[in-house]
Amino acid sequence: MKIAIYPGSFDPITNGHLDILERAMKLFDKVIITIARNSTKVPMFTETERLEMIRKVVRSYKKVEVDCFDGLLVDYARRKNATAIVRGLRAISDFEYELQMALMNRKLSDGLVTVFLMPNEKYTYLNSSIVREIARLNGDVSRFVPVVVLKALKKKARSAKR
């Protein structure tokens, strides 16, 4: 069974992430989409909120498992018997950071392969912070995120105004 890990902050998950996930599902028997707990980013959504949103969004995907992890990604991948890490590559600007991570992860765990997938070009300019910012300023992000996430963003924006 070929297992891949799709790690990230997913704060929140966007249609761009889903695009990558769907592509990965075509290549692997199981894809574990997993939230990194020790990210240096200060999240808008708690880990529980992010998990809940992702679970709802991928509910109908039979090959997908949703999880969180602490510590090194390579150790987590080993525990999960995964042979690959999936990362999205949107533009040249992603390349340097992704190359460094992929090479470092290879140094740390030789058998683990990083697979880069390109999302549909309509998502190449998308990231979670830009979605958060537009939503915070009452802009329309309905084209960029699943409905569950859209509702959660609106709720956050309302509670921030109180």
Residues that bind ligand COA (CB under 6 A): 7-9, 11, 14, 16-17, 20, 36, 38-39, 41, 72-73, 88, 90, 101, 104-105, 119, 123, 126-129
| Shortest distance, position 129 Cβ to ligand COA, whole Å | 3
Instruction: Find out whether 119 and 10 touch, Cβ atoms under 8 Å.
Output: no
Q: Per the residue annotation, which of 2, 37, 39, 41 is the catalytic one? A: 41
Q: Per the residue annotation, which of 9, 17, 50, 132 is the catalytic one? A: 17
93 three-state secondary structure:
helix
Q: Is there a catalytic annotation at residue 59?
A: no
Of the pair 73, 162, the CB lying nearest ligand COA is at 73
Instruction: Find out whether 86 and 24 touch, Cβ atoms under 8 Å.
Output: yes
| Shortest distance, position 127 Cβ to ligand COA, whole Å | 4
Instruction: Find out whether 61 and 33 touch, Cβ atoms under 8 Å.
Output: no
| Shortest distance, position 1 Cβ to ligand COA, whole Å | 22
Tokens of 103: 């090479």
Of the pair 111, 162, the CB lying nearest ligand COA is at 111
Q: How far, in Å, are 4, 19, 22 from residue 28 at the CA level? A: 7, 15, 10
Tokens of 150: 């859209």
Q: Is there a catalytic annotation at residue 63?
A: no
Among 147, 120, 119, 153, which residue's Cα sits nearest to residue 134?
153
Q: Which residues are annotated as catalytic?
A: 17, 41, 90, 128
